[in-house]
């Protein structure tokens, strides 16, 4: 049962890293802002990413710490 949870955590981690790479790729190669609305939306998206990415990454990191500690026992 524990191996199945480990595999699930590995899958979640791989998907999260892939999602971050996809977002970074799109953010780097985006078209320049076309006006005040698009500039606002770009800044709002950056703020959202600044909040969500560290939060989800912290949850995944804590999950890995818990799994690796249990594996060591």
Domain count of the chain? 1
pLDDT of 41 reads 85
Domain that holds residue 41: 2-72
Residue 17 half-sphere exposure toward CB, CA atoms < 13 A: 7
Note the pLDDT tens digit of each residue in 4-27: 667 888 899 999 999 999 988 888
Enter the tokens of residue 8: 């699930």
pLDDT of 68 reads 86
pLDDT of 33 reads 67
pTM of the full structure = 0.72
CA distance 3 to 22: 28
């Amino acid at each position: 049962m524990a191996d199945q949870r480990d595999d699930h955590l590995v899958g979640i981690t791989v998907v999260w890293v892939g999602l971050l790479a996809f977002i970074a790729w799109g953010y780097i190669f985006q078209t320049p802002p076309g006006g005040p609305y698009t500039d606002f939306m770009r800044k709002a998206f950056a703020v959202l990413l600044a909040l969500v990415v560290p939060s989800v990454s912290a949850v995944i990191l804590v999950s890995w710490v818990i799994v690796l500690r249990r594996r060591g026992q």
